[in-house]
């Protein structure tokens, strides 16, 4: 029985890491797409292409990856009885933050598609640092388990 649990654990862990990589890639790409989108002439064919690219990135990579990160993560935490671990609680706060950031990006993309451009390219470039900082903290929490 222990062998089955270990094998399942390794597959769940591999799946979790794979989809974290996909999700993070999308979280890095989408704000950059927004910068290029905002630099395009309003109503132009180029702007239409950016709207299409952003929608595809969200639909094909970003949202499915986020869902799978949560599915694999919850399965890992449950299977390994990690729910009482303080480091997991801290990790979950950061993952919830990234999930909220993801939702904000989706909403911002919809505003851009309607022609609204509330942020500057500089602010979008600064916001693009959020996933990297969160990922660094999450990796330390999971690997080092400081508490």
Q: Is 106 exposed, middle or buried (0-12, 13-18, 19+ CB in 10 A)?
A: middle
Is 91 a known ligand-binding residue? yes
Is 111 a known ligand-binding residue? no
CB atoms within 10 A of CB 10: 10
Residue by residue, DSSP assigns 39-51 as HSPTTSHHHHHHH
Return binding residues for heme: 16, 91
Annotated binding site: 16, 91
């Amino acid at each position: 029985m222990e062998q089955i649990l270990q094998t399942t654990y390794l597959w769940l862990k591999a799946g979790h890491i794979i989809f974290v990589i996909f999700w993070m890639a999308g979280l890095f790409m989408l704000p950059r797409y927004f910068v290029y989108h905002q630099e395009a002439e309003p109503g132009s064919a180029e702007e239409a292409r950016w709207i299409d690219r952003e929608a595809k990135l969200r639909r094909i990579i970003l949202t499915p990856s986020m869902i799978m990160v949560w599915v694999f993560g919850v399965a890992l935490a449950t299977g390994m009885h990690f729910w009482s671990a303080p480091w997991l609680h801290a990790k979950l706060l950061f993952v919830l933050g990234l999930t909220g950031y993801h939702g904000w990006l989706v909403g911002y993309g919809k505003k851009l598609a309607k022609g609204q451009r509330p942020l500057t390219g500089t602010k979008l470039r600064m916001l693009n640092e959020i996933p990297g900082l969160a990922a660094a903290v999450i990796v330390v929490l999971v690997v080092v388990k400081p508490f």
